[in-house]
Structures are given as C-alpha cells and as structure tokens.
Structure 1
Amino acid sequence: MQIDVKHIAGPGLVVLDIAAADEDTLRAVMEGLQRQRATSGIAPVRRLPGEPGVRARVYADVHRPGPSD
C-alpha cells in the first residue's frame, strides 16, 4: 500500500502502519492513539493472505492533541 504524499506533506504529520495478533488489540491501540493525538480514527482492519495477524493504517498529526476523556 503506497503512502500518499498529502498525508506527510508537513512537519508533524505521520502515517502509522500497525500490526497486531488480533482485532481487539489493534482497535485498543487505535483508540489509545486517538485519545492522545488527532488521528484519522479507527481505521478498517486488513488481513493479508498468508501473513499472521491483522493490520491497519492510521494518519496522525503529532502537533494537535486528541479529544479529552
């Protein structure tokens, strides 16, 4: 999966590819990131044929805080 340059066009913008053993763990990580920083939210979970676990891609702005709890 290619990274679109618009998602990293400025300082503080990042693309995070996350891999986990299961969907619950993956969603917990995405929810934690969303609470701490401005992110693209809970991303669709992907399974890659022949590879263990699940994956997701999240876009984040490290300069902007996430929503407060």
Structure 2
Amino acid sequence: MKPIKDVHVAEPGLLVVDLAAADDDTAFAMQNAIARRWATAPAEHVTRQPGEPGVRLRCYVDLRQELAAPKSSQGDDQTAGNRADSCTGETADPMQPV
C-alpha cells in the first residue's frame, strides 16, 4: 500500500484504516460497517499483493463526524428513551418511570 500522508491524520479523530480480508466481499462489508457509523471516504477497489494471502483495502474515516443511528431493525417506531404506547399511540416521557 502507499504511504500514509500527513494530511490524512493531521487532526485528532482522523483515521486511515487498512483492512486485510480473505476476499473482496468481506473487505467491503467491513468498510460499509464503518461507513454506517462515521463519515468515510471509501475505497472503490481492493488490492492484492503477490505471495500474500487475501486482499487489502484502505479507507479514510473521520470520527468527529458520527452519523445518525440507524432506525430500529424491528420495524417499529421506537427509539431509545422515547417509546410510543402500543395501545394509545402516546409517547412516554423518557424522564418518568414506567
């Protein structure tokens, strides 16, 4: 892989992430997992080094730019601390005991 440039790690919160994986799909799956959480400049392709196992991928991440949490995978409109009553549809006050 190419050397890391100073500008890519010039400030706290900036990362250069070098991934090694068995195959392209695994490398891109990990990159996508990172990109769902933080601002990421993704790689478009992987590299292979002759004589070395697997593939390599480099992406650039900015931990200072955390992305919004994905909606619940349960298919409901519940968010942490702000749940709607299933019978009345009223939203509970997260500061009040249930």
TM over 0.5: yes
Letter in 2 for 1:53: G
Q: Which runs of 5+ in 2 are unaligned?
A: 71-98
Q: Is the 8 A contact 2:9 2:16 kept in 1?
A: yes
Indicate if the aligned counterparts of 2:47 and 2:55 stay in contact, CA closer than 8 A. yes
CA distance in 2, matches of 1:29, 1:38: 14
Q: Deviations over 1:5-40 (max 9, x none)?
A: 000001100111000001110010011111110011
Match of residue 12 from structure 2: 11
Residue 49 of structure 1 is matched in structure 2 by 50
Give the letter aligned to residue 12 of structure 1: G
Normalized per residue, the structure richer in helix is 1
CA distance in 2 between counterparts of 1:41 and 1:68 reads 19
Using the TM superposition, give the Cα deviation of residue 66 of structure 1 relative to its aligned residue in structure 2, in angstroms.
3.3
Closer, same or farther: CA 53–67 of 1 in aligned 2, 3 Å: farther
**Aligned match of 2:88:** none
Aligned partners of 1:34 and 1:67 also within 8 Å:
no
Moved more, 31-40 or 59-68: 59-68
The structure with higher relative contact order (CA 8 Å, sep 6+) is: 1
Identity %: 43
Q: Which has the larger radius of gyration?
A: 2
Aligned-residue Cα RMSD (Å) equals: 1.4
What is the 5 A alignment of 1:1-69?
1-66=2-67, 69=70
Q: Give 1:41 shift.
A: 1.9
